Structure 1
Amino acid sequence: MTDSPALRSAHELTASFAEGTLSPVEATQDALASIERYDNAVNAMLFTDADGALAQARASESRWRAGAPLSRSDGVPVTIKDMFLTRGWPTVRGSTLIDPAGPWDEDAPAVARLRESGAVLLGKNTTPEFAWKGVTDSKSHGVTGNPWGADLTSGGSSGGAATAVGLGMGTWSIGTDGGGSVRIPASFTGTTALKPTFGRMPMYPPSPYGTLSHGGPVARSVHDAALLMDIICGPDSRDWAAMPPPVGSYADALDGDATARLAGLRIALSPTLGYGHNDPEIEAAVRAAAQVFADAGAVVEEVDPGISDCVDAFHVLWFTGASKVVSAYGPQALDGIDPLLARSIREYGSEASASDYLDAMAVRMDLGVTMGAFHESYDVLLTPTMPIAAFPAGQDAPTGWPSDLWTSWTPYTYPFNMTQQPALSVPCGLTGDRRPIGLQLVGARHAEALLLQVGDAFQRLTDWHTATPTLITD
């Protein structure tokens, strides 16, 4: 990566703020310059509030000069996926059905915690309509591209967030993940993203996708993701399902010799989960990543967890939620949304019965039991995040793919929304034509601290997360 402040880590930025060698204003100006430089090509930002961001940055600069920052992350520039309520900014969720006039008088929990920390809010990221699919395009805001090629998809549904982070349009972003929505774009854009255990990051209002939907950090490194977790996992009484705040700091737990923690760690490598198929370059990169852990002293075994593809049950849960979202806008709403979403709701959601829903929940519970038993033998499960690399932007699926539904090409992400387990995606390679490859690390429920430690160790032993995207080097 270049030495631009926009591409420095959160820790590097705040260390410079404390030393007085860089100010939050300069960091914010550089992030805004990156938006100005790249966003016409990639369309990652729904809108940018430059004046508001600079005012926040000046306030942060004053606090650092007075030796009284609000937090150790005060002044770090951040963008927000347009699924999170933001006070004073519209939240239209990628849809023309929502009136941007508002009123917008409330922050989502994570946004509120970011404001309290002194982070500088730059603007909102693009998302597909109601965050329903694994690529980022919408009738309202167009197509979002990729830092490694504006003509490549960013993935989704947090594609705007990942592309913004990858190009230095802010150090961090926060995204949602109901079936892979932070991990898919992390894999495609060479960024890092964590889906924590359900309830770890408070969410409000409740997602119509129910307990499938998580929120989590998008960053350029595991360490930055851990710093952001320390902020966004703060308590909020509006989420009745939220877990108690974590004890201690995720970021502090990464101090010391992280690689030493790998010695004796029990790691299962499952390149296909027993049912998937990968492009050869993907599988080779994931196997090479597993070898990094083995060389560092982990006990790595190739073993499948003994699950089958839960896609049919996932479709019932996902599209009944989508049907409920759209029905709130009246009987004609299906005619005004993404045509593939409308078709999928009709096929999987609107006709599902209560019995169908309960059957899907039974599949989900059985899957959770199987994975719980699996993690009694293995600390971490490794899979590809995605079986493919990024394909052309503006398509719902790769060219010639047998299905245009996003779940047909994301077999390794949605199972862990069904089980609510934490899952982390980190870069682990590039294809021959320089498209990023993601490695997924899955832990037992509530084990996000362990995943962050293991992912951080991997990034200390490799440099894939520091690779500079094509749009920056060209």
Structure 2
Amino acid sequence: MCQNPNQSSSRSGELYAMDVATLSAAYRKRELSPVEVVCSALVRAEEISHLNAFTFLDFDRAMRAAEASERRWCKGEPRSPIDGVPTTVKDILHVEGWSVRYGSRVTDPAPFEKDAPAVERLRQAGAVFIGQTTTPEYGWKAVTDSPAFGVTRSPWNPKLTPGGSSGGAAVAAACGAGVLHVGTDGGGSVRIPASFTGIVGHKPSYGRVAFAPPSSFGTVAHIGPMARRVADATVMLQIMSGRDLRDWTQPPMPFPDLDVFEYGWKGKRIGYWRTPCVGDVDVEVLNAVDGVISDLRREGAHVEELRLPDQDDLLEIYTRHWCVGAANRLSTIDSGRISELDPGFVAAAQVGQKYSGAQRMNAEAGRSRFGSAMDALLCEYDLIVSPTVPILPFEAGRNAPDGDKRSWVEWSSFSFPINLSQQPACSLPCGFSHQGLPIGLQIIGARGDDRSVLSAAQSYEAMYRDRFVQPGGRWSVEH
């Protein structure tokens, strides 16, 4: 078991707040050891156990990997800039030697023998996997609680949800329990918890990161990086990117590299998506994003308010995709164990079971029309900016705010359309409500152009550095 690293280094009290560039520079100069840093991350993870961000911590394997990384740095032979960097993986993706449960009591607890492609690439680059983060059952909703592992809570206020479905990863990132965090996003599951916890969450262009075994929810599901800094998310995505023959849905040609450039706002054509597909936007969320839009105009950007193509039809198109995906997953589960599942997941699957083949294919056709129209729209505009989530964080353990009868899809309708159209989208911290709760801003780009989105995100970070709060800064991690 790790000892508190404060006993061994004058800098180790700051370790959990360091980014990839700082750590790799310190490793290179022999000012820090991966062993010390990984130990610090594990200690931090234990300190926030009351927030329920992890399904388990892999102390022994993590320390062995850290020791191997230290030997590589000592020889001057690191595998990459993330060699020795503490990393977490959501309880959705396969990790060699880990039991992946999908947040469910009905899954096989036997450990997997092979990494998922994204995990494999990170491991080859020297990332140190410290533990597995929580998800709702099969990642089916936009908050994080499950029958198997209970309720995950926000570090800003433990009474509130961190969002989901990558909520455990978001909490770990926000609190400094690791530097890099692998999430999945089938309708906002990277971006929603990034918004609710004040971190960076990027949903890549579909196919940039191989998804294998394939998601039960099909090609709306993406794998993306979550981190505290844009540069960390960028280097992580670059490493995870690439073709893998286990994912037939990937294009057979490579995506452009993510060599981030200095993004100037002057003269850029920015579409402002201000009205969600369903419902209204909380006034504090709107005020925060409106403030950024005013600043971008002062920087010389040409900003026009817009609605998405076919916006009124998107809820039904997405619901058919998502619920049929849930039905697909339910079909693999022993009928005698259905009572052990989250009732909300079962209800969504039962809706999916009722759709006819014609209705399902009609949704595919609607998605195709929307995707083509979005591709055309992103030729007209350089980027689209919107709130990430139209509401503020609400009570943990609920699927929607108290008294709100909408589904998670309806209260998060700035995110799911971009899963249908498969564009890259990055959520960034955009200030705080009067109660001190994080608000997120979303930057959306053309398919394949993650480079421009992340370059704009880095420019945004430079403009609003005070919004990117360091771990241990303004939030509470008290019991």
TM over 0.5: yes
SS at match of 1:357: helix
Give 1:59 deviation, angstroms: 0.9
- Native 8 Å contact 1:192 1:221 kept in 2: yes
Partner in structure 2 of residue 269 of structure 1: 272
Unaligned 5+ residue runs, structure 1? none
Aligned to 1:75: 84
Identity of aligned residues (%): 39
Which residue in the other structure is 1:51 paired with? 60
Say if 1:139 and 1:473 are closer, same or farther in 2 by CA, change over 3 A.
closer
Q: How many residues align?
A: 463
SS at match of 1:58: helix
Cα-to-partner distance string for 1:306-345 (whole Å, 9 max, x where unaligned): 4324111211111111111111112234322101111222
Describe how 1:322-337 pairs up with structure 2 within 5 A: 322-337=326-341
Q: Distance in 2 between matches of 1:315 and 1:275?
A: 13
Comparing 458-467 with 163-172, which one deviates more in the overlay? 458-467
Distance 1:282 1:123, change over 3 A: same
1:230 & 1:62 partners in 2: Cα distance? 24
CA contact (8 A) 2:98 2:111 kept: no
CA distance change for structure 1 residues 81 and 60 in 2, over 3 Å: closer, same or farther?
same
Asked if the contact 1:57/1:75 (under 8 Å) is kept, the reply is yes
2:324 partner amino acid: T
Which residue is 2:170 aligned to? 162
What does residue 24 of structure 2 align with? 14
Indicate the RMSD between aligned Cα atoms, in angstroms: 1.6
Secondary structure at 2:260's aligned position in 1?
helix
**What 5-or-longer segments of structure 2 have no aligned partner?**
1-11
Q: Any conservation in 2 of the 1:234–1:245 contact (CA below 8 Å)?
A: yes
Q: What letter matches 1:153 in structure 2?
A: T
* Residue in 2 that maps onto 1:151: 159
Please point out which of 422, 426, 430 is paired with 2:432: 430
Is 1:296 the counterpart of 2:303 in the alignment? no
Conserved 8 A contact 2:208-2:243: no
1:66 to 67, 75, 80: 75
1:29 to 25, 39, 49: 39
What TM-score does the superposition give when structure 2 sets the normalisation length? 0.93
Report the equivalent of 1:462: 464
Within a 5 Å distance, the mapping from 1:101-120 to structure 2 comes to 102-120=110-128
How far the C-alpha of 1:103 sits from its partner, in A, is 4.4
Does the Cα contact within 8 Å between 1:197 and 1:448 map onto a contact in 2?
yes
> Matched residues in 2 for 1:363 and 1:377: separation?
21
Q: Distance in 1 between matches of 2:303 and 2:163?
A: 30
Q: Is the 8 A contact 1:274 1:306 kept in 2?
A: no
| Larger mean Cα displacement after TM superposition, 27-36 or 80-89 | 27-36
CA contact (8 A) 1:292 1:461 kept: no
- Residue aligning to 1:439: 441
CA distance in 1, matches of 2:291, 2:231: 22
Deviation of the 1:13 alpha carbon: 0.9
- Equivalent-residue separation in structure 2 for 1:265 and 1:165 (angstroms): 32
1:327 and 1:333 in contact (8 A); partners too: no
CA contact (8 A) 2:279 2:410 kept: no
After superposition, the Cα gap between the structure-2 partners of 1:86 and 1:199, relative to the gap in structure 1 and judged at 3 Å, is same
Structure-2 change in CA distance of 1:356 and 1:149 (3 Å): same
Please report the TM-score for the alignment, with normalisation by the length of structure 1: 0.94
1:292/1:458 contact within 8 Å kept: no
- The reply to whether residue 282 of structure 1 matches residue 292 of structure 2 is no
Distance 1:473 1:9 in 2: 24
SS in 1 for 2:380: coil
Deviation at 1:472, TM superposition (A): 5.1
Which amino acid is 1:78 matched to?
T
1:352 aligns with 2:389: no
Q: How does 1:78-227 map to 2 (within 5 A)?
A: 78-100=87-109, 102-227=110-235
